[in-house]
A and B are shown apart, each in its own frame.
Chain A
Amino acid sequence: MSNNILDIKEIFKVYPDGVIANRNVSMDVQENSIHALVGENGAGKSTLMKVLFGITPYQGGSIEYKGSEVKFSNPREAIAAGIGMVHQHLMLAPDLTVAENLILGMEPLRGKLFLDADEAVRICREASEKYGLAVPAEKKIRDLPIGVRQRVEILKALARNAEVLILDEPTAVLTPQETDVLFKTLDGLKAAGKTIIFITHKLSEVTRVADRITVMRDAQAIITRDMDDLDEVKIASLMVGRKINTERIPAPVKIGSVKLSVRDLKYTNSDGVEALKGIDLDVRSGEILGLAGVEGNGQTELVEIIAGLMAPDSGSVTIDGTSVLSLTPRQIREAGLAHIPEDRMENGVAEVASVEENLIVDRYYKPEYNTRGRLYWKLITEKSKELIKKFNILTKSSKTNVGSLSGGNIQKVVVARELTSNPGVIIAAQPTRGVDIGSEELIHNLLKQARDEGKAVFLISADLDEVLKLSNRVVVFYDGEITAHFKDASKVEDVDLGPYMLGIKKEDAASGKMDS
């Protein structure tokens, strides 16, 4: 026990909305090790680390760091004590250079007033050399790929003399290749005497780099132990309490005609960045087309244009042969589109509205639900109850506010609405992000079922496992372009997609068209 650098004991944390995120969680971290903190989304991993880092207050338990009890009331105190954290969403100023970001808050001054830019670059280079993390000191953050930005964040923590480094889902935004580089970095840091805690829900990563592991499930720590002989299957069963299914679904039997067709779609955003550089793709009835790619490469824009939420510069979008570009979102829905949005709290639901109010937003105006503007609440409640039952939504009643449900159940509300509007085309953007395994399986099954019923399903996901599990065709997106088109997804592995996702490789005249 003497080599424990951190001893977290019985942490209890309730959020103001009554959700218990940590239920007497204990975990010890040995000095100079790589410690994996794994669990499903919503298991309480990030909360535990926020507690440790002083971001969020907690109600019970204690933290011992280097043998003495500590309680950080803000991140500054944690940093001063030698704990660094790299957040999932990187916290860098995009318009500053790497060196400027690195010295933020500890700026070297010239004449006590002016920033010493040369000294900043020197500090940056020195740190970079010391830890073997190559970063371009004088380049602006916005011009760097995400993997390098992350490296800057890590270096930033190290430059503040961090001995314990917390990484919150560092690989979520990385390609397989970038992940490899990150893991080499972590090994190097361990060799340099640092302690690393990294949060993940990807098990292959754990078995690759971790020395020790803590598994969390349902706000509790199930186990903390050395990796030894633990393999992915064993960890997975600890994580979910049962086996998860990553097996690919069988290929579609009957593929019909093209339902959704996008041609030469171009869009330049308000910053002047070409978000879409002429996209062509088709989705046929009875198939699932998967779109793989690191987020922020134009996927969001593509989906929002198809759904009528923004207008492109040029190009065409047709659903069942009708052009939908000049139509309103409602008209597009009536033309047969259903849309599970990427950001469910922004677009998918109104948090303060009830479950039933959320379930009818695309249909309340239809004659079935009202006469001359008077809503049939009784009927709406009845129908909502049916949907709640059918889609297994866990809620106290149909009048409960959606915001008080768990992430998985909120997503089920969205899915229940979108899949029951009798659509011909379904766009599913990040359909299982942040939901529990049970809901994930349910949603996957529903998408498969929709496919088998002859609907055209367009799946956009940053989770490669999900794309490969469900799709029969895959296109890869990079920098507003389609860089590859795999017509038979069953022959593709995630590593095959990596180079295309990074833009290292590009097929000639790649598009998602079926006639090409």
Chain B
Amino acid sequence: MEKWILKYFTLIRVMIALIIGVIVTILMIYLISEYPGESLKYFFTGPLASKGRLFNILEMAAPMIFCGVAIAISFQADQFNLGAEGSFIIAAAVGTAFAVSTNMPALLHIPLVLIVAGVTGAVWSLIPGILKAKWNASELVSSLMMNYVAFYFSLYLINSHFRDLDAGFLVSLRLPETAVFGQFITGTRMHFGIILAVVAALWAYYFLYHTTSGYEFRQTGYNKSFARFGGINIIKVIILSQVLLGFIAGVGGMSEVMGIHGRFLWQGQPGYGWDGIIVAIIGRSHPILIIFSSLLLAYLRVGGQVLNLMGDVPAELVNVIQSLIILLITAEAFLGQWKYRITRRQAEREEAAK
């Protein structure tokens, strides 16, 4: 049993953090709500109550998976790039512009638009990469700053050049039929982008754990000096990791436009880049686990919405829970004493067995 605990310690720690998060949620709902029993039901079972809400979770998870996977790749190479948000939105804007200005059959249009968006995101993300590789400028700072540039440039592009004047509010022109994903389950907004997100996660897993480049990424992340000593080209790793981050986040941004909205309609920062960081941290930067952490976060969000709609507790409750969970997961010392005690007992037992 104790051996088992040690082996899966990080996973158990995440689980316990989640359980504590849930307990605190229950307590808070009891404190805030006039009729806590009902509210709890809305929050926890609400998201699962109808087909529509169930698929709401899936469609909400898709951009989180894209951004989470993108960020996980750079985390694994020890790059703390916050630029997923910027790549996400600028790729969506440029991709939208490209989609509405071109005309071709869907079979060609869809992949081409996605590629244009991905490349835009990649090029955008390349800038902090080069600054880091050449002048050792912190990618954290430069990518963060560039998020604002990306956001306002996107607004300029859409609002000044591709605005739908007939729409009555600030949105882009509608994407041509040949450049939108079909929604394949009626009554939901389930679209091809969700499958694409899962594919991206599976690909990232394969890339990180089964290819030479992925090996280079991980060794650089584990110990940069060791990687360099062994002959790995660290500059290449730094730059390539940011390019991949930008590409995947960019495809994620475009896939939102193509799957859900049919046009670019953000006038504020959508925040998926930040959600990506959250799910990447909860999923310990493992692409497969990120699928699940994204579903979990989406479930909490939908729960918050239902609660907001039907009950008397504001949706911001979810933010409190998610911060608490992240705090517990990232605090290395959390349950550290417990682990220490088990390790010690194990060591003593092995000792006695000798």
Contact = CB atoms under 8 A, between A and B. Distances in A.
B161 interface: no
A373 B212 contact: yes
A374 interface: yes
A303 to B, nearest CB: 11
Which applies to chain B's interface (DSSP): helix, strand, loop or mixed?
helix
B213 A329 contact: no
Which has the most chain A C-beta neighbours within 10 Å: B211, B227, B344?
A: B344
Contacts of A121: none
Interface in A318-363: 328-330, 333, 339, 341, 346-353, 357, 360-362
B308 interface: no
A353 B222 contact: yes
Contact of A339 (B210, B219, B229, B344): B229
B225 interface: yes
Given A309-B228, A328-B231, A330-B231, A20 B351 contact: yes
25 contacts: A14-B343, A16-B336, A20-B347, A20-B348, A307-B229, A328-B233, A329-B228, A329-B229, A330-B232, A333-B231, A346-B223, A350-B226, A352-B222, A353-B219, A353-B222, A353-B223, A357-B215, A357-B218, A361-B219, A362-B231, A365-B212, A370-B211, A374-B210, A374-B212, A377-B210
Contact of B347 (A19, A347, A351): A19
Interface in A6-45: 14, 16-20, 23
Interface in B191-236: 210-213, 215, 218-219, 222-223, 225-233
A330 B219 contact: no
Which has the most chain B C-beta neighbours within 10 Å: A309, A330, A353, A374?
A: A353
Interface in B114-163: none
Which has the most chain A C-beta neighbours within 10 Å: B213, B229, B336, B346?
A: B229
Q: Which 6 pairs between the two chains have the least Cβ-Cβ distance? A: A330-B231, A361-B230, A350-B222, A350-B223, A18-B343, A347-B229
B316 to A, nearest CB: 37
B210 A357 contact: no
B30 interface: no
Contacts of A347: 225-226, 229
A364 B218 CA distance: 13
A103 interface: no
Which has the most chain A C-beta neighbours within 10 Å: B212, B225, B231?
A: B231
B334 interface: no
Contacts of A357: 215, 218-219
A375 B212 CA distance: 6
A357 B225 CA distance: 15
A365 B233 CA distance: 12
Contact of B232 (A307, A361, A374): A361
Interface size grouping (class) on chain A? 35 or more
Contacts of A374: 210-212
Interface of A: 14, 16-20, 23, 59, 307, 309, 328-330, 333, 339, 341, 346-353, 357, 360-362, 364-365, 369-370, 373-375, 377
A362 B230 contact: yes
A18 B226 contact: no
Which applies to chain A's interface (DSSP): helix, strand, loop or mixed?
loop
A14 B223 CA distance: 26
Given A353-B218, A370-B212, A16 B340 contact: yes
Contacts of B223: 346, 349-353
Nearest to B229: A347
Contacts of B212: 364-365, 369-370, 373-375
A16 B225 contact: no
Interface of B: 210-213, 215, 218-219, 222-223, 225-233, 336, 339-340, 343-344, 346-348, 351
A348 B226 contact: yes
B231 A349 contact: no
Contacts of B210: 374-375, 377
Nearest to B218: A353
A11 to B, nearest CB: 14
A346 B173 CA distance: 55
Nearest to A380: B215
B227 A14 contact: no
A14 B351 CA distance: 11
Nearest to B207: A373
Contacts of A351: 222-223
Contacts of A14: 343-344, 347-348
A330 B336 CA distance: 39
Contacts of B343: 14, 16-18
A123 to B, nearest CB: 41
Nearest to A362: B230
Contacts of A369: 212
B231 A348 contact: no
A498 to B, nearest CB: 33
A198 B213 CA distance: 50
A330 B351 CA distance: 44
A365 B219 CA distance: 13
A339 to B, nearest CB: 7
B351 A23 contact: yes
Contact of B346 (A18, A333, A339, A346): A18
B152 to A, nearest CB: 39
A468 B137 CA distance: 47
A14 B346 CA distance: 10
Given A16-B343, A18-B347, 12 more contacts: A17-B343, A18-B346, A20-B351, A307-B229, A309-B228, A309-B229, A330-B233, A350-B219, A350-B226, A361-B226, A364-B215, A377-B210
A83 B344 CA distance: 29
B344 A59 contact: yes
B226 A349 contact: yes
Which has the most chain B C-beta neighbours within 10 Å: A307, A351, A361?
A: A361
B226 A373 contact: no
Contacts of B233: 328, 330
A56 to B, nearest CB: 13
B225 A346 contact: yes
Nearest to B231: A330
A399 B59 CA distance: 37
A361 B227 contact: yes
Contacts of A361: 219, 226-227, 229-232
A307 B229 CA distance: 8
B211 A375 contact: yes
Which has the most chain A C-beta neighbours within 10 Å: B212, B227, B233, B346?
A: B212
A364 B225 CA distance: 17
A353 B216 CA distance: 12
A23 to B, nearest CB: 7
Which has the most chain B C-beta neighbours within 10 Å: A17, A59, A357, A375?
A: A375
